[in-house]
Structure 1
Amino acid sequence: MVETIKLISPVDGSLHAERPVASDAEINAITERAKTAQIAWAETPLAERGRYVLAFLEALLAMNEEIVPELAWQMGRPVRYGGEKGGVEERTRYMVDLAAAALADVIPHDARPGFHRYLRRVPLGIVLVIAPWNYPYLTAINTIVPALMAGNAVILKHAAQTLLVGERFAKAFEVAGLPKGVFQNIVLNHVQTEKLLGSGKIDHCNFTGSVAGGRAMEKAAAGTFMTLGLELGGKDPAYVLPDVKLDHAVANLVDGAFYNSGQCCCGIERVYVHEKVYDDFVEGFIAETKNYVVGNPLDEATTIGPMAQPRFADFVREQKAEALRKGAVAHVGMKVDNDREGSPYLAPEVLTNVNHQMSVMREESFGPIVGIMKVRDDDEAIQLMNDSPYGLTASLWTTDADRAAALGDRIETGTVFMNRCDYVDPGLVWTGVKDTGKGGAMGRTGYDNLTRPKGYHLREV
């Protein structure tokens, strides 16, 4: 009997898609095609690679009207938000434009007569992208585009919850006329994925997922000397300072906490507010949260759809229950007919009187719940922000940029924001510290991590 991967829709619990996993023969054929295709692709001029990638982008954008409801059925994001086309286009065009400068030869500053010396960035070979379901296009684009621009071949293994996304990528590259084998989509189970990582046929893997998943990736790849990029858990904090523009902070932090049902790698999960503005901030935050509408993501009125799976929602329910037992206060109490144990539909919640003995303030929630704590000063805020096993992003809400930069130097995180959150800047780097993982995507660093340096030392005689 052929093993399959089943996609169960969070909208109504129905079987939305089912695909057979690849056989051993198919996996071998895919890796061999990639190996062969990559050699010719690496010799393709950079400008031509860019034309293929931009043609792929246009083909993908042309599918957006179909993609938006498809995403709602797969992982629950409301159709009113229009999918991920804005970010996909921004990141793709930026990385294509950056490629020539990022991949240009580097000439040592100390010129030596009679020698031609330079460092060249060359492709790694075959890049495996293991993409998550929460932002299934954006997270995949982060690696796929710069990997291809750098001359690598790419194999995409998408999450079971978003099986159809991999097929959309494959179709868009087919429409773009990309040479066969340069990009391939594959369906694998966990055992097959680990076996492929340990096979020695993959030169780099970028994985976005859980901390446990990242550890499994490292274990599977041990001894192969392949490189790994791991973007894992997050518990992203915000600190609201006394000089904050309150309405702006409230609106943006509520959105940062609850957009995508809180299922954002860099979503706001905990907020520390200076005592001088605490009461006003909490009042505004609660009022803004109560404007959300939980429901069927195919309904244009819905602003929070179901979480991707019932077990994710139940985990958040457990965090809330534990916090309430320990003295936290819940402020929203939104009544949603299908918000119950075993259902993926979950109303947003705001908790105060929380502390770091509660799971909701230290362990990743990845759902529509946020705790808000009062702090006396910057030192207390920084201590609490750093009291976490994770470090992806942190945001500071103030009108003083110098103060924000100085505080940012003290925060253990991959990105520091001021007056915004929940954003990936393609011109910088997407990275984290501690259990959030290692490596980095986007910007020049993204290209560095998808190539290897090769030195040329040419002597004239």
Structure 2
Amino acid sequence: MPIATVNPTTGETLHTFTAHTPEQVEQCLAEAAAAFAHYRTTGFAERAALLLRAADLLEADNEAIARTMTTEMGKPIAAARAEAAKCVKAMRWYAAHAESLLADEHPAPGDVTDSGAASARVRYRPLGVVLAVMPWNFPLWQVMRFAAPALMAGNTGLLKHASNVPGTALYLGELFQRAGFPRGCFQTLLIGSDGVEKVLRDPRVAAATLTGSEPAGRAVAAVAGDEIKKTVLELGGSDPFLVLPTADVARAAQTAVTARVQNNGQSCIAAKRFIVHTDVYEEFTAAFTAAMAALTVGDPMDEATDVGPLATEQGRTDLEELVDDAVRHGATVLCGAGRPPGRETGWFYEPTVLAGITDAMRIDQEETFGPVATLYRVDSLDEAIARANHTPFGLSSNVWTGSDEDVERCVRDLQAGGVFVNGMTASHPALPFGGVKRSGYGRELAGHGIREFCNATTIWRAAP
């Protein structure tokens, strides 16, 4: 894929970028390693002051960077502004909390006396240069939820962003420079996916984090495993949205629409499979389908638009193939399932609801990255949980119920990194984020995320 800004609303190529040469990549690696040698010795107060300065700059740039994101990948402009604001929030949160999150840990004195220690503690020290391979769907937020904790921990970062959001990628590299971070602390690499392996194998790179597809995660994990380097992977998701008999059905249906079409449906944590108890199935389906069909599809720069285009032409093609396969195998189209009339340019797709999903359909097991929802009717909580777990993914989940017993059962049995009760899944700086099964491993955000790229060092002192 060329490194270029292609407006998904029109299909027009606006800018093309020349990939970094091997010599330029080598310079970035050298500067990142040199920066780490000094930056790791700085204190939390100094790092926090730099990160807060970057947060202030980003806040001032909100409208400009929001328009860049919308132009490059098609998210509605209001959502783009919110994404930038969320990044500012995370930066300020880590600036305020990193020191306490990474404070030395002291076991109780009695727990280590039999080791011959007068004292013992654990200190979290930075690992070094971390390579971040990031996706286009949340081109600012995905990067910042790595960058903010990694920089506060004392690491330095190299960003290999998706090739269709180079403007956002370059902005991020410049942001930290403008904020006064030492040269080389955070740099953007303009390279294709075929250049990742060489960078990851470089001995100056200590670890890697990737958010993206399952094949991309498998490739990075294989190289990192061969080099015995730490990785954190946040991969695909096919999150279940369970609606049980005691749920507030009207509110569940309303939230379900937002949960499905956020970011034009292109979100790993968007609810995708709606698993509804038969007692409330008809009520939920009617309300949900009507609301999905009423959404406004259009120019993402228009404030009235609910759903913009998909980010890439290939992405739309992949989505169409999944829907067409489901229909061929007997799925019922309740709304949508095509390109919006009158949209001759751009990569638009109608909000779609499919019912009657069976195991014979690809859409039952594969992630739908676009505004397409699948409906399942179940007769019991046991069946709902079994259906929810009937996927290779395990990122997050949503449960709608008025029963505490249902909640405890779902928390115990759902195979997911999160269970959101009577609300939609969302990421937050203070809460760990990640999945199980083929949704990846490791955690981002909160204390769990900042400690992923730290060396937990045992410090033991002998008794006199």
TM-score range, shorter chain: over 0.9
Read off the aligned partner of 1:292 and give its amino acid letter.
L
Q: In the aligned structure 2, how far is the partner of 1:401 from the partner of 1:97?
A: 35
In the other structure, the counterpart of 1:277 is 280
> Is 2:107 aligned against 1:108?
yes
Q: 1:286 to 1:15 in 2, by over 3 A?
A: same
Q: In the aligned structure 1, how far is the partner of 2:398 from the partner of 2:383?
A: 15
In the other structure, the counterpart of 2:257 is 254
Equivalent positions of 1:304-343 (< 5 A) are 304-333=307-336, 336-338=340-342
SS in 2 for 1:393: coil
In the other structure, the counterpart of 1:213 is 216
In the other structure, the counterpart of 2:140 is 137
> Is 2:3 aligned against 1:5?
yes
Aligned residues: 458
Deviation at 1:325, TM superposition (A): 1.7
Q: In the aligned structure 2, how far is the partner of 1:400 from the partner of 1:57?
A: 41
In the other structure, the counterpart of 1:389 is 392
SS in 2 for 1:223: helix
Unaligned runs of 5+ in 2: none
In the other structure, the counterpart of 1:428 is 431
Q: What whole-Å deviation, never above 9, does each CA across 1:37-77 have from its counterpart, x for those lacking one? A: 11211111101101111111111111111112211110011
1:16 touches 1:74 (CA, 8 Å); kept in 2? no
In the other structure, the counterpart of 2:44 is 46
Equivalent positions of 1:222-237 (< 5 A) are 222-237=225-240
Read off the aligned partner of 2:164 and give its amino acid letter.
Q
Read off the aligned partner of 2:246 and give its amino acid letter.
D
SS in 2 for 1:269: strand
Percent of aligned pairs with the same amino acid = 29
1:240 touches 1:272 (CA, 8 Å); kept in 2? yes
> Is 2:55 aligned against 1:57?
yes
Read off the aligned partner of 1:76 and give its amino acid letter.
G
The two structures have a TM-score, normalised by structure 1, of 0.95
Deviation at 1:36, TM superposition (A): 1.2
> Is 2:84 aligned against 1:85?
yes
In the other structure, the counterpart of 1:367 is 370
Q: CA RMSD in A?
A: 1.8
2:65 touches 2:84 (CA, 8 Å); kept in 1? no
In the other structure, the counterpart of 2:97 is 98
Q: 1:153 aligns with which of 156, 160, 163?
A: 156
Q: 1:169 aligns with which of 149, 172, 175?
A: 172
Read off the aligned partner of 1:452 and give its amino acid letter.
N
Q: In the aligned structure 2, how far is the partner of 1:358 from the partner of 1:189?
A: 33
Read off the aligned partner of 1:395 and give its amino acid letter.
N
> Is 2:417 aligned against 1:414?
yes
In the other structure, the counterpart of 2:27 is 29
SS in 2 for 1:105: coil
Q: In the aligned structure 1, how far is the partner of 2:327 from the partner of 2:190?
A: 42
Q: What whole-Å deviation, never above 9, does each CA across 1:160-201 have from its counterpart, x for those lacking one? A: 111111222122212211111111111111221111112222
Q: 2:459 aligns with which of 452, 456, 459?
A: 456
Deviation at 1:246, TM superposition (A): 1.5
Instruction: Flag as ranges the 4+ runs of structure 1 deviating above 6 A.
Output: none
1:204 touches 1:227 (CA, 8 Å); kept in 2? yes
Deviation at 1:425, TM superposition (A): 2.8
Q: 1:98 to 1:239 in 2, by over 3 A?
A: same
1:38 touches 1:153 (CA, 8 Å); kept in 2? yes
The two structures have a TM-score, normalised by structure 2, of 0.95
1:98 touches 1:443 (CA, 8 Å); kept in 2? no
Unaligned runs of 5+ in 1: none
Deviation at 1:221, TM superposition (A): 2.4
1:270 touches 1:371 (CA, 8 Å); kept in 2? yes
In the other structure, the counterpart of 2:206 is 203
2:2 touches 2:163 (CA, 8 Å); kept in 1? no
